[in-house]
Amino acid sequence: MIMNGAGNRFAVFDARERPRFELTPERVEAISKPGSSTMGPKGADQVIVMRTPKAQGADVFMEIWNQKGFEVDACGNATRCIAWLVLRESDKEEVIVETNDGLLRCRVPKGMEVGDMQVAVNMGPPKLEWDQVPLKEPMHTHHIDVKVGPIDNPVLSNPGAVSMGNPHCVFFVEDFERARPDKIGPMIEFHPLFPEQANIGFARVDAPDKMRLKVWERGVGMTLACGTGACAAVVAAVRQKRGSRKMEVEVDGGTLFIEWREADDHVIMTGPVELEQEAVV
């Protein structure tokens, strides 16, 4: 199948009844490449494999590969897509998607029905300690010591660091043209402070409850949407007193609604899914 979540595009393989189905980094790269016979001119941001769950109570296990052929632990937009498929086939209102980072509870948003093209995902609590992100050395993660440009007049500085199952570094900007996400993103992705590389967010807060976001995704590049990136950006905005705990996040591919609940510290992401092609790929 070919699906996307707010423009974040995925090749989806259902291997729940094919236990011998395996991917190699070379095959992932071939599938993802723009112009491939599988994905067409747009290519894929990630390749997803649905497998029989390992954990008791889970409905499906989601295996996630980025387009460079590396397996990763989390992808918020893909979680919505896989949850939508399982919600539709089971006719349930809530399912649990298992990932390498843990269990994610997904449900039909309030006021909607099974089959509607929106899904809400409980992404769990953000990881905020330096060794959870992870960073190379101990420091507070509200603001981390990463600067771009002259020391006395940096173009970007004081980003927040957050893990939503994968590491994020979030800069707050006023002007995307000056920030140059497509140029600065790949520079910071490999910054020595991030031993596992990092997804680099560029967030412009337009109102306490509204944000415009662009993300350079590690191993992928600029994406139309990054679900975990939107969650991380809202968490970082709250910690830096730039935004509220409920924010509408506009990305290049659509709009995500993020709530960082104070009661239990969990982050809830609600957003769209699209089934582009249902035939087996």
Residues annotated as catalytic (active site), given as ranges: 75, 226
- Exposure of 220 by Cβ count < 10 A (0-12 exposed, 13-18 middle, 19+ buried)? buried
Q: Are 80 and 87 in contact (CB under 8 A)?
A: no
Token pair 């070919």: residue: 2
Q: Please state, in angstroms and as integers, the Cα–Cα distance from residue 6 to each residue in 9, 45, 131, following that order.
A: 8, 12, 31
The Cα–Cα gap between 116 and 96 comes to: 18
The Cα–Cα gap between 31 and 277 comes to: 15
Closest to 165 in 3D by CA, of 83, 97, 69, 110? 97
Tell me the β-bridge partners of 248.
Answer: 210, 257
Phi, psi of 162 (to 5 degrees): -145, 145
